[in-house]
Amino acid sequence: MPLGVLPDGSHVVTGGLLVENKVLLTRDVDDTPRIEVVGFETVRRTVGVESPRT
């Protein structure tokens, strides 16, 4: 999802279905990057796929 930075330092979506929605970029307490589309959804970034335990 492409993001733009406004003059006040805030972020907005610049393409796709959510154009012009404000976005907050933060980190969770465990330092995981977090993207919140204000009024819509919060997403936690994960890396890779966990292997099933045997």
pLDDT tens for 1-31 read: 899 999 999 999 999 888 899 999 988 888 8
pLDDT band at residue 47, thresholds of 50, 70 and 90?
low
| Tokens representing residue 23 in the block | 């976005």
| Tokens representing residue 29 in the block | 């307490």
Q: How far is the C-alpha of 34 from the C-alpha of 36, rounded, in Å?
A: 6
Q: Is the pTM of this model over 0.85?
A: no
